[in-house]
Structure 1
């Protein structure tokens, strides 16, 4: 029996990357469902829409949009309602238009879709296709399309039921130039990459990433993907407690 797969993203149900992910998932299972936001939700992180009604809109067989919903909303609706009494075994989120590397994952709706999938009990993988923003390059999906299914299968084979989800980034190179899969930590930046960015309109501004904070570690996701043309895979913990600090601080905090 095929494993049931739920797909979501943060670029919207009609985004080209979700069609790439549907094709990837179809190589793994014949039981694939899509529940995604109706509009772009990039940067939404793990936001839930609380105290406001949401609406499910069916677009095609096993394809649904959540009107006004976030990626996390979509996974909740899919896993606890749309898929009925058989929630997905695997949640795939993406393929995002642009990389989700380093501390950017904390704001990523793509990563949050996978994280909520793991919290709901599935094996969950966030997937992003990188792009050279400095060169103004158009995103090319060939690398994710060619190597996506093999990458998912490799992660599924290695997954041991640990309390993790996975963040995958495909390099901005032709599929034949990919060097392989590298399992790496995510880059901790010296400071948040998000900054105030002035608009040309008086009194207005953007929150943006004008530059990548330096230095970058040579063995972490940013540099390994860029330098080696490697598909980076980063296992991320759901349990975020610093257990060493718990032991160090236990008994030391007093009123």
Structure 2
């Protein structure tokens, strides 16, 4: 099995190194990650300039672009054959609920999925100082082993969040849905030395929808959450309503 690994924290991130170390014990591994931290980059592609692929002293490849760039470049231009899996992480911090819209970690896995490769995004959830990347890495290894035992007719995309606890204290894994956060905090205004207004993006909101079947609930209670994602953004329950007011507008016109 050949696994392509990427992230959004940069090729020097401890979570990336830990994940690569664990996965290299069970598979052939290629790492292609951003040159610098690109958290919050979402699914952006760099289209205004060429991308440069370089190799670090530790054997990791890095790109002066986004997480999506890294996976796209690797799968469509660098690798001689399509990888068997794309795994993105281990992210330093949660990617639950609404976070998935903005997350570069999830975006890297999403790009693999869009290119026809089964993909996993994995994040470690805890305080400012994270201590147990190995726990998240062991969860991923378990998932990879389970993948080997099952065949899939179509690619899939999993979003995995693991509490920052020793592996022995992890209560297991739960299949979950995405929860939802409250509205983000307001942007923080400050001024440059020359008096120009500057803003820091506000912190993410607290969990709002955190019921027993959500990712928030699972992680809060010591479980790794496993959420299958899809890319179809169509709001199917609104289709009839939009058709109705579109047709009503014809009479007005």
- Tell me, yes or no, whether TM beats 0.5: yes
Matching of residue 79 in structure 1 with residue 75 in structure 2: yes
Q: State the shift of 1:163 in Å.
A: 5.6
Post-superposition Cα deviations, 1:22-42, rounded to whole Å, max 9, x if no partner, equal 12322331x211111010000
Q: Match for residue 102 of structure 2? A: 107
Q: Match for residue 122 of structure 1? A: 117
Q: Match for residue 160 of structure 2? A: 168
Matching of residue 28 in structure 1 with residue 26 in structure 2: yes
Cα RMSD after superposing both structures: 2.4
CA distance in structure 2 between the aligned counterparts of 1:112 and 1:17, rounded to whole angstroms = 17
Matches within 5 A, 1:1-255: 3-29=1-27, 31-59=28-56, 63-67=60-64, 69-84=65-80, 86-133=81-128, 137-154=129-146, 157=149, 160-162=152-154, 164-191=156-183, 193=184, 195-199=186-190, 203-209=197-203, 211-214=205-208, 216-226=210-220, 228-246=221-239, 249-250=242-243, 253-254=246-247, 255=250
3-state SS of paired residue (2:146)? helix
Conserved 8 A contact 1:163-1:239: no
Q: State the shift of 1:234 in Å.
A: 0.3
Q: State the shift of 1:130 in Å.
A: 1.0
Post-superposition Cα deviations, 1:161-213, rounded to whole Å, max 9, x if no partner, equal 3463110011122211111110000112343x363134486733210315415
Greater gyration radius = 2
CA distance in structure 2 between the aligned counterparts of 1:53 and 1:127, rounded to whole angstroms = 28
TM-score (norm 1): 0.86
CA distance in structure 1 between the aligned counterparts of 2:151 and 2:162, rounded to whole angstroms = 20
Q: State the shift of 1:155 in Å.
A: 5.1
Conserved 8 A contact 1:93-1:113: yes
Conserved 8 A contact 1:163-1:237: no
TM-score (norm 2): 0.86
3-state SS of paired residue (1:205)? strand
Q: State the shift of 1:20 in Å.
A: 1.3
